[in-house]
Chains A and B, each alone.
Chain A
Amino acid sequence: MNPEVCEILSILNRDGRTTPETIAKLTGKSLDEVNGAIGEYEKNGVIKRYNAVIDWEKVGFDKVTAFIDVKVVPARDVGFDAIAGRIARFPEVKSVWLVSGGSDLRVIVESVNLKELANFVAEKLATIYGVTGTVTHFLLRRYKEDDVLYLEAENNERLVIAP
């Protein structure tokens, strides 16, 4: 990949709030170039979205998260895509991946409580035509997610002045 392309994207990947002005300073490009490039990335879907990574538990908002392994029968012509797309469109579903191994799809579902999540699995997911089985794993504790550690911060205090 073109390293210049990587540079703007990796800056935004590190901190989505970095302003185009700062990116211009960091990369030595003009503001117009940076704005142009970011506009293109957004238009082409290279940049999907800018969002904050939030620790909901810290604000007392307990969500229930489940990882669901789904076995499906692939359909003619469309393989797994039709069912995967159907599952992916539910708002409770955060991610859907086709994976290798014992099951076919891995789905992450978030819900406000256990009952709603159970209902979703029993009534929506398991009843989709072609779904032959589900195994649900509940999230118990988060240690790292999307590159962010949910652990005590590392403390590396440097001297104020050092040679």
Chain B
Amino acid sequence: MSALKPIATIASQLPVSGIRRFFDIAASMQDVISLGVGEPDFVTPWQIREAAIYSLERGQTSYTSNWGLIELRREISAYLEKRYDVSYSPEDQILITVGVSEGLDIALRTILDPGDEVLVPEPCYVSYKPCVALAGGIPVAIETDASDNFAIDIERLEAKLTSRTKAILIGYPSNPTGVTMPLAILQNVVRFAEENGLYILSDEIYDRLIYEGEHTCVPSIAGAYERTILFNGFSKAYAMTGWRIGYICGPASIMSTMMKIHSYTMLCAPITGQKAALEAIKSAEPQVLDMVSQYGQRRKVMVDGFNAIGLKCHLPQGAFYAFPSVAATGLSAEEFAERLLFEQRVAVVPGTAFGAGGGAHIRCSYATSVEKIELALTRIKTFVDQLTAVSI
């Protein structure tokens, strides 16, 4: 008998998410206030849940079309047209996925050959780089700076451009920084992509959670449509994370290949979730606006709180994360997060989990009640004051 052969190299060498380690520690502790949660604290609005229950009562438990329910795709098409003036045919340009996560995976598998490179501005969502690697590609990190509001610097993109560069992967409003990207910079990114024949993968899952200005839907920018794959879904705006319903839109020529992969690997998104999403897009606009208004209020409390404590924090324009710098404490983000958890029982996520550019920062979600935010800020102040007292 010979030894069992090793598992795949790419998979085994994939780093464990920096979030994971903190999750295990925090989950075992009592009385922890968590600012580490990347999902809404609201429950899915009732009429959405009720529509899902009704669909179950009527026995709607089968597969749907691989593309997803046509009614849902029609609604999404109308929504994108009305909201962003971008036109996607419900027939062959919109694919319902199991969250943006699945969408991202199949899009990368669709466009990448082994060894192809994807430019990924950092800090960014934890899955971007691993998904590129799993699709056989090579993620190429592009640093951005807090001092520049994490803006994408075109010169840095050009510096990392090679003959193997195939795409740029962006997500704004950003998890973890909360920034949106100004239109002028996005236009430059599109031009850069045009000049170099690149695809643009644009994750816009936080598009509705915007507190200042308007969201720019990337495919609506001149020159972008033909090269952009747009990702969105229902998790954040409608408080529907657990339903796992997302969608991808793109040029029909690319969509047909993505749909092929989806049909072999996922078949379709769960029908109950799709029924719920259909109700959400049809009727939950008032609740979306109410949730956005509450996030917007909490954002001010949290950002003012960090700045008052002496942890410099830019005002995020979107998503539900503040991304204060802990540089003033002399601790690394990892040390800060770990000691804060043990000494004051507040869970935050060290910025290193989101790439090099986040090294001096911690990600704090304000998708939690004002009372908890205020209590967490009090505990963080105590922690920071003690650090400062010791260092004097």
A-B contact pairs, 22 of them (CB 8 A): A7-B293, A10-B293, A22-B301, A22-B370, A25-B300, A26-B300, A26-B301, A27-B300, A156-B43, A158-B41, A159-B23, A159-B27, A159-B37, A160-B26, A160-B27, A160-B36, A161-B19, A161-B22, A161-B34, A161-B37, A162-B23, A162-B37
Q: How far is the CA of A156 from the CA of B49 in the complex (A)?
A: 13
Nearest residue (CB) in A for B33 is A160
Q: How far is the CA of A156 from the CA of B300 in the complex (A)?
A: 25
Say whether, besides A22-B370, A26-B370, A162 and B297 are in contact (CB < 8 Å): no
Leading 6 A-B pairs by shortest Cβ distance = A26-B297, A161-B36, A161-B23, A160-B26, A162-B38, A160-B34
Asked whether any CB of chain B lies closer than 8 Å to the CB of A96, the reply is no
Q: Which of B260-309 contact A (CB under 8 A)?
A: 293, 297-298, 300-301, 304
Q: Which residues of A contact B23 (CB under 8 A)?
A: 159-162
Asked whether any CB of chain A lies closer than 8 Å to the CB of B39, the reply is yes
* Distance in Å: Cβ of A154 to nearest Cβ of chain B: 6
Asked whether any CB of chain A lies closer than 8 Å to the CB of B78, the reply is no
Q: How far is the CA of A161 from the CA of B35 in the complex (A)?
A: 8
Q: Which residues of A contact B125 (CB under 8 A)?
A: 163
Q: 5 other contacts beyond A27-B300, A160-B26, A163-B17, with CB at 8 A cut-off?
A: A26-B301, A161-B27, A162-B23, A163-B19, A163-B175
Residue of A7, A27, A158, A163 with highest tally of chain B CB at under 10 A: A163
Asked whether any CB of chain B lies closer than 8 Å to the CB of A125, the reply is no
Q: Which residues of B contact A22 (CB under 8 A)?
A: 301, 370, 374
Question: Inter-chain contact count A-B, CB under 8 Å?
Answer: 58
* Distance in Å: Cβ of B308 to nearest Cβ of chain A: 10
* Distance in Å: Cβ of B285 to nearest Cβ of chain A: 16
Q: Which residues of A contact B298 (CB under 8 A)?
A: 26
Q: Which residues of B contact A156 (CB under 8 A)?
A: 43
* Distance in Å: Cβ of B22 to nearest Cβ of chain A: 5
Asked whether any CB of chain B lies closer than 8 Å to the CB of A131, the reply is no
Q: Which residues of B contact A159 (CB under 8 A)?
A: 23, 27, 37
* Distance in Å: Cβ of B287 to nearest Cβ of chain A: 13
A interface residues (Cβ-Cβ under 8 A, vs B): 7, 10-11, 22, 25-28, 154, 156, 158-163
Q: How far is the CA of A159 from the CA of B297 in the complex (A)?
A: 23
Q: How far is the CA of A27 from the CA of B370 in the complex (A)?
A: 13
Q: Which residues of A contact B301 (CB under 8 A)?
A: 22, 25-26
Q: How far is the CA of A11 from the CA of B370 in the complex (A)?
A: 11
**B26 close to A28 (CB less than 8 A):** no
User: Which listed residue (A11, A25, A154, A163) contacts B304, Cβ 8 A?
Assistant: A25
Say whether, besides A26-B301, A163-B19, A158 and B37 are in contact (CB < 8 Å): yes
Q: How far is the CA of A28 from the CA of B299 in the complex (A)?
A: 10
Nearest residue (CB) in B for A7 is B293
Q: Which of B112-154 contact A (CB under 8 A)?
A: 125-127
**A161 close to B293 (CB less than 8 A):** no
Nearest residue (CB) in A for B374 is A22
**B347 close to A160 (CB less than 8 A):** yes
Say whether, besides A163-B19, A163-B127, A28 and B300 are in contact (CB < 8 Å): yes
* Distance in Å: Cβ of A27 to nearest Cβ of chain B: 7
* Distance in Å: Cβ of A106 to nearest Cβ of chain B: 26
Q: How far is the CA of A160 from the CA of B349 in the complex (A)?
A: 11
Q: How far is the CA of A26 from the CA of B373 in the complex (A)?
A: 12
